[in-house]
Amino acid sequence: MQSTDISPLSAPGVVAPRALHPAAGFSGRATKPPRGLYLPHGAPSNVQFGGHVPTNGGRTGAQKAGLHYESKVHDVLEAIYGPDYRRSPSMFYEDRRGLHRAIPDGILKVASDLVVIEVKLRHTERAWWQLVRLYMPLLRTLVVPGTRVFGVEICRSYDPDEPFPGPHALISSLHRLPVDRVGVLTWKV
C-alpha cells in the first residue's frame, strides 16, 4: 500500500493509514448514548489522574479481537511518541451521583495540544460519545487554559453509514486534526 503521508505514522516499519474519503460528516441518526455508557450528570468536579487500571481480557471473540487491535495500536504509538503517549490513563471525577472513573484508550501530547484517543476495531458511534461527552470535557478541566484538546477515533475499518451523533472528519495524520469535530483515522496495524 502506498502513502504520501509524511507524518510519523508513515515511518519505516509502520503501516500507514489507508487513503481516506474527504467528505465524512454528521449522520445525526444516533441521538442517545449507547447502552451501558455512563456519562456525567452535571458538571464534573475534582477531576484527577490516578488509580489502578483494571485489566480486561474480553469475553467474546469480538471483544478479544478489539483488545488485540487496541494493544497493537498502543505499541506502535508508544514506539513513535515515547513518553508523549500515555496508554489507558485512569481519571477519577465526581458528579451529582458520586465518584466515578473514566479510562480513555490513550492521551497523546502533540506540540502544545492534547489528543484523546479512542481505539475501536470498527468505526462506531460509541467512540463519539466517549470522546465528546466524557473524556474531552474531563481532560479540559485538567489542562492549562488555552491548551487545545482534540478527540480521535482510531479504527481498523470505517463504514460511512454508521450513525455518528456529531460531525467528524476522516484524517490521515495525528498532526493535522480538525478543530471543530472528532477526527477518525483508519489504520491497519
pLDDT in tens, 114-165: 999 999 999 999 999 999 999 999 999 999 988 999 999 999 999 988 888 8
Q: Measured between alpha carbons, how far is residue 135 from residues 9, 12, 49, 104, 148 in Å?
A: 24, 32, 12, 6, 13
Please choose, from the candidates 105, 100, 115, the residue with its C-alpha nearest in 3D space to the C-alpha of residue 42.
100
Q: Which residue has the higher pLDDT, 43 or 29?
A: 43
What's CA 101's distance to the chain center, in Å? 16
pLDDT score at 103: 93
Q: Could you give the 3-state DSSP secondary structure of residue 136?
A: helix
pLDDT score at 17: 31
Mean per-residue pLDDT of the chain = 83
Beta bridge partners of 118: 153
pLDDT score at 30: 52
Q: Which residue has the cell 460531525?
A: 167
Q: Which residue has the higher pLDDT, 59 or 107?
A: 107
Handedness of CA 182, 59, 159, 6 (dihedral sign): positive
Domain boundaries, the chain: 8-186
Does the pLDDT at position 51 exceed 80? no
Most confident of 9-13, 67-71, 160-164: 67-71
Does the pLDDT at position 81 exceed 60? yes
